[in-house]
Amino acid sequence: MSKIGVLVATDEFPGCATGLLRQAAANGAEAACFLTDAGVKVLQDPEFRAAAEEAGAGVTVCEHSWERFKLGEPLPGYQYASQYQNALMMGWAEKVLVL
């Protein structure tokens, strides 16, 4: 089984992030996602959250970025952590897609 990491650092393409997670699931790949900088805003999109759940993708949110953009209380079910989690995902993934 393939291991795909998705790094989202922009909120310009929420549909792409959603599509990548759905496609990973359709192809039987394991997926993990790290949201940082403006990419943390993608978590506010219900379609993205649904795709992450359908894909069984672990989603980690850069806590500093979440606070920087003043997005309110953390949403339950997601890990809010440091860039160290991004580094762990990079080491885990066989392929990484960056938005």
Determine the pLDDT at residue 86: 98
Mean pLDDT of 2-28: 96
Full residue range of the structural domain in which residue 42 is found:
3-98
Whether residue 35 contacts residue 62, with contact meaning beta carbons closer than 8 Å, is answered with: yes
Q: What is the pLDDT of residues 46-65, one digit of tens each?
A: 999 999 999 999 999 999 99
Q: How many other CB atoms sit within 10 Å of the CB of residue 84?
A: 9
Per the structure, how many domains does the chain have? 1
Determine the pLDDT at residue 34: 99
Mean pLDDT of 17-34: 96
Name the amino acid, one letter, at 61: V
CATH code of 36's domain: 3.40.1260.10
